[in-house]
Structure 1
């Protein structure tokens, strides 16, 4: 039988480069598109604060993900992951364009469209990365150590997810630098808020106090429209670049994946849709997923608070909107660095250590937000600390979540990824919706409590996964021993 050891080295190298190319092209396309999206998201609560339009649009966006997220497997089957990504980037162009004239009739519908495609988009991303990583691991294991395939798979998936999320989190740097550099050129009044306004900033941000509606909102100075248009034009160009990369450089179909859509009748498609919806709901009720959902929810809620509340109640409210991008750059930088560097130690530290560190670090940042009342007299550098610490946790968890789901739900990855992103969308939606009714301090307590439950659920999941792995190895060893006895030739 032909062995990888006997193949031409250049041919082997070429085969190994194809999965890496897929990972890099996918990462680059997300980098362009999310350079625009995340920067706009960070500014929504500050730029479009009249009647809470910005936060409400985010609530609509993530609420729509809840409705359409379960249909992600159907989208994969009908049009395939590449077309899903291309459609997603077109909708991102529409969303960015709607911010040129943000009203209830433009921003909210475009947010709903973006939410509808988000679940399929992230499911397609997970399928591409997992398929590329598994192919790379299989070829590497076949050449070096065939019996160590599972270990190679964990390491390679961690590496590929780490590479992707390093690029993804770099968008917090690129997008926020663009926004702050452009907004800094404006001649608007960016002086610090008065002490009366600052008193209702930080953890004291409450809808009733005005931070989320009238008094504090009216104190946030806005840039001129022409400056905002320049910023949005740059972001629209980024969306187009991401679309071009996806159309011309991304493989049409991930390896080892089939959408099984040929010659489907309307009845078959309808039946398939119901089956996919049923699978997603069954996955949500799966005991393994239930154990992990508090962790998914806690992380999503912490990110939502950082994006919408920290940017407004701690930055715009105290030191001015022009600092939002600069401060959030520290979040993107730390996330990108840790996404790639921590995963280089995945084989030695193990996933459990990485997750525990990430949870403790992110919980610490929430506690810091809870006890810190910004005064405006601190050094501006202080405002960079909480996003930086949150970025450390994000860099670890983003890559490890996909690796965890890929292994825990190996037999049902597509509905598992769909359920994962849907559960995160529920948490984002609740976070943004609660900002209209519940004080920030109470939402911080809720997020900390969810992290506590999430840690317990995760540890139970890892214990079960390890026990199943040991049992599987013991069964294989027993089967091998029995087989060797049966084929042994008697003297």
Structure 2
């Protein structure tokens, strides 16, 4: 007899009485996020090279992620009140406005839209984590499948498709933008208009998601005042911080944000540009995106529970550890074919690690915090965005070597805490629950 893990994700002949729209919603969510972030991801990558006057682009991103950090503290409350579908739709508007602001970039357009995007990003990501996990749990329950396996596969499919935004968005940038004499760049207006079109289609797709019912409807119709709800939400977040499990996961969450910010702030500037030039940034990020997508799909397919998550995370961390040590001790900018190949290899390896962390952290939180998904995913985005904001603000004042040392230390601490969680703490929780 086949075990739960061996049971197909979707039965070939499911009973007619069972709902059939779970995978439909998954694909709508995947396509919507792909269209939104192929635009925003490319726009973000361009900030430090297009909006250079007064470091407007870099400072705008720092403001964005500070706002993201602040609003993450109440994002779970907003998602509970709005419902995850409405939160996803509202969150899309922030990315649209930020992209539109780049058509007339100035302090008066970029700073307000960066602040609003911080709020929008906090609710769209808490909404995404809540919606996707709820979708997977419902699918597993309706089809009598192993919950951990379904959560892993749904996350793998989502993050695999999501990672494709780096490939598509950067290839579009590579085709549209032209380097002019004197270091100027042409084609930005056409590029941003294309991205606004992509964002609009993504927003429309969000409207076709099936509304998640049950707990969300109760919370939306609750007569409790907003101020009381804010206090309750903050207390809930603080109470979650008393859970030893989240405390042991937070360092890994922080590192996942740190390694993403490293790509945006340091990898393109310090590793790619000296070897491949400014035009090579799009190609290198496309390679990064391809391997990120492949890694996400593979990691999701291999996820079946806590033990598999432990093995996969350890493998991804080992790959990034090797890259960090290589950059610290042996890497130098070289000429010729090898000089052009090595930055791409580093991007590919780093993309594998990022795909692992994206899929496995989402699956881990979905498994450990079933009764407070919004709060758990709010913690995920709170610590990720805080780390990213710090990197954007300090990257201009510290050397690459210092950044690598910081990352190496944080990686070691985070993996140690994660392994302690999976080996010791979760066994204790499982024992008391049984």
Tell me, yes or no, whether TM beats 0.5.
yes
Aligned with 2:323 (options 365, 382, 404): 365
The superposition leaves residues 132-189 of structure 1 with CA deviations (integer Å, 9 ceiling, x where unpaired) of 1011111222xxxxxxx6xx11100000001110111010111011111212xx2524
* 1:236 equivalent in structure 2: 196
SS of the equivalent of 1:245 reads: helix
Is 1:328 paired with 2:289?
A: no
Is 1:104 paired with 2:64?
A: no
Aligned with 2:168 (options 168, 174, 194): 174
Aligned with 1:284 (options 218, 241, 246): 241
- Displacement, 1:447? 0.9
Counterpart-to-counterpart distance in 2, 1:273 and 1:398: 28
- Displacement, 1:13? 6.0
Aligned pairs (5 A) from 1:67-82 = 67-82=70-85
TM-score using structure 1 length: 0.81
Equivalent pairs counted in the alignment come to 420
Is 1:350 paired with 2:308?
A: yes
Aligned with 1:431 (options 385, 388, 391): 391
Structure 2 CA distance for partners of 1:17 and 1:365, relative to 1, 3 Å: farther
Gaps (5+ residues) in structure 1?
1-7, 142-148, 190-219, 476-491
The superposition leaves residues 73-119 of structure 1 with CA deviations (integer Å, 9 ceiling, x where unpaired) of 22123322222111111221111011122222212221111111211
Aligned with 1:136 (options 136, 139, 144): 139
TM-score using structure 2 length: 0.91
Structure 2 CA distance for partners of 1:253 and 1:334, relative to 1, 3 Å: same
Is 1:223 paired with 2:185?
A: yes
- Displacement, 1:410? 2.2
Structure 2 CA distance for partners of 1:325 and 1:255, relative to 1, 3 Å: farther
Counterpart-to-counterpart distance in 1, 2:239 and 2:370: 15
* 1:264 equivalent in structure 2: 223
* 2:64 equivalent in structure 1: 61
Is 1:294 paired with 2:256?
A: no
CA contact (8 A) 1:292 1:454 kept: yes
* 2:52 equivalent in structure 1: 49
Aligned with 1:456 (options 402, 416, 422): 416
Aligned with 1:157 (options 144, 151, 154): 151
SS of the equivalent of 1:402 reads: helix
CA contact (8 A) 2:92 2:120 kept: no
Counterpart-to-counterpart distance in 2, 1:117 and 1:95: 11
Gaps (5+ residues) in structure 2?
1-10
Structure 2 CA distance for partners of 1:46 and 1:312, relative to 1, 3 Å: farther
Is 1:36 paired with 2:36?
A: no
The superposition leaves residues 186-241 of structure 1 with CA deviations (integer Å, 9 ceiling, x where unpaired) of 2524xxxxxxxxxxxxxxxxxxxxxxxxxxxxxx93312xx111111111111001
* 1:118 equivalent in structure 2: 121
Q: Looking at CA atoms only, which structure, 1 or 2, has the larger radius of gyration?
A: 1
The superposition leaves residues 233-261 of structure 1 with CA deviations (integer Å, 9 ceiling, x where unpaired) of 111111001011011x1112356644512
- Displacement, 1:470? 4.4
Is 1:188 paired with 2:176?
A: no
Aligned with 1:250 (options 190, 206, 209): 209
The superposition leaves residues 278-336 of structure 1 with CA deviations (integer Å, 9 ceiling, x where unpaired) of 21233234322221111111121111011122112222344322111111111111111
* 1:21 equivalent in structure 2: 24
Which stretch shows the higher mean deviation, 47-56 or 271-280? 47-56
* 2:378 equivalent in structure 1: 418
Structure 2 CA distance for partners of 1:14 and 1:400, relative to 1, 3 Å: farther
